[in-house]
Structure 1
Amino acid sequence: MAIFNKGGVGLTPSSSTETTVISSGAKIEGKFYFSSMLHVDGELSGIIHSESIVVIGKNGNLKGELQADKVVVNGYFEGELDANSLEILAGGVVMGDISVNGLSIENGGKFRGTSKIKEENTVKLIENNPE
C-alpha cells in the first residue's frame, strides 16, 4: 500500500513536515515530483524530483533518475543521483553516477559507480587597476 501526500503526487505543494510513504510491497513506476519528504520501503522506478529529503528504507528499492536536497540510503538505489547531500548507511547500496555537495558512507555501506563533487558557483571579481 502506498500513501501519497494530499492532492496526489506532486500536484499540490505541501508542507515540509509531511511525508509521502511508498510502503513495502508497493511497486510504482513513473515521473514523480515531491515537495514533501519521501520515504521508500517498496519499489519505485522512474524520474523522481524532491525539494526535500528522500529516505530509502531497509526494504526500499529505487531505480532511475533521482534529484533531491538530501538522500539517505539504507536500502538499494540504482541510477543517476543529484543531491546536495548523500548518506549511505551501513545497509545501503548505491550503484550508478552521483553528483553531490557532500557524501557520507557508513562502514558497511556500498557504493559502485562514479562520483562528482559539485563545485559552488562563485563569481570572481577581477580588478582592473590602471597605473
Structure 2
Amino acid sequence: MAIFSKGSNGTTSSTNSETTVISSGARIEGKFYFASMLHVDGELSGVIHSESIVVIGKNGNLKGELKADKIVVNGYFEGELEANSLEILNGGMVNGDINIKELAIENGGRFNGVSKIRQDDPVRLIENTPEE
C-alpha cells in the first residue's frame, strides 16, 4: 500500500486509488490535505481535509476539523465534521458538530452534538498553500 508515487518526471504525487494509513500506536498532530483515501487506526489531531473517503478504524481516534467527501467512523471522532456522507458504525462515536448531506447511524453507533443538513453545496476544502 503506497502513500505517494513518483511520476515520470521525478515529482511526488498522490493518487485517488491509494490509501494513506495512520497505524495503531502512531500519534500525529498538524494540518493534513489528502487526495487519497485515509484510514486512521492511530491518533490524529488537527485540520484534516480529504477529497476522498476518511475511515476512522476501531482503534482510531481523530480530533479537530475534518472535511471529506465521505466519512466512516468505527472509532472515535471529536470536533467539527463536514462531509457529503457520514456513517457511524456499531463501534463508532462522534462527539461534536456535524454539517452533512447524508447521515447513517448503525445500532450501537453514538452521536453527541449538533447536526446540520447541508444543501447541495459541495464540501469546500482549504487550498494547500505554503504558509508565509
Q: TM-score range by the shorter chain?
A: 0.7 to 0.9
Tell me the amino acid that sits aligned with residue 78 of structure 1.
Answer: E
Quote the residue 1:64 is aligned against.
64
**Match in the other structure for 2:25:** 25
Summarize the Cα distance change of 1:12–1:35 in structure 2 as closer, same or farther, 3 Å threshold: farther
Equivalents in 2 of 1:61, 1:12: separation in Å?
28
Counterpart contact for 1:70–1:86, Cα < 8 Å? yes
Whether contact under 8 Å (2:73, 2:94) holds in the other structure is yes
The CA distance in 2 between the partners of 1:25 and 1:102, in whole Å, is: 31
Q: Which residue of 1 aligns with 2:105?
A: 105
Where does 1:1-131 land on structure 2 (aligned, <5 Å)?
A: 5-6=3-4, 13-120=13-120
**Alpha carbon RMSD of aligned pairs, Å?**
1.7
Report the CA distance between 1:117 and its aligned residue.
0.4
Cα distance in 2 for partners of 1:19, 1:120 equals 27
Larger Rg belongs to: 1
1: CA distance between counterparts of 2:73 and 2:2?
20
The 1-side partners of 2:76 and 2:35 are apart by 22
Corresponding letter in the other structure for 1:88: I
- Compute the displacement of 1:100 (Å): 0.3
What does residue 126 of structure 1 align with? Answer: none
Q: What is the CA-CA distance between 1:120 and the residue it aligns to?
A: 2.3
Which structure 1 segments of 5+ residues have no match? 122-131
- Kindly state the Cα deviation for residue 24 of structure 1 after the two structures are TM-superposed: 0.1
CA contact (8 A) 1:4 1:21 kept: no
TM-score normalised per structure 2: 0.83
Q: Could you tell me the TM-score, scaled by structure 1's length?
A: 0.84
3-state SS of the aligned residue for 1:91? coil
Give the whole-Å Cα distance in 1 for the aligned partners of 2:96 and 2:51. 21
5+ long unaligned stretches in structure 2: 6-10, 122-132
Offset from partner CA, 1:73-103 (integer Å, 9 cap, x none): 0000000000000000000000000000000
Please name the residue that 1:128 is paired with: none
- Identical columns (%): 73
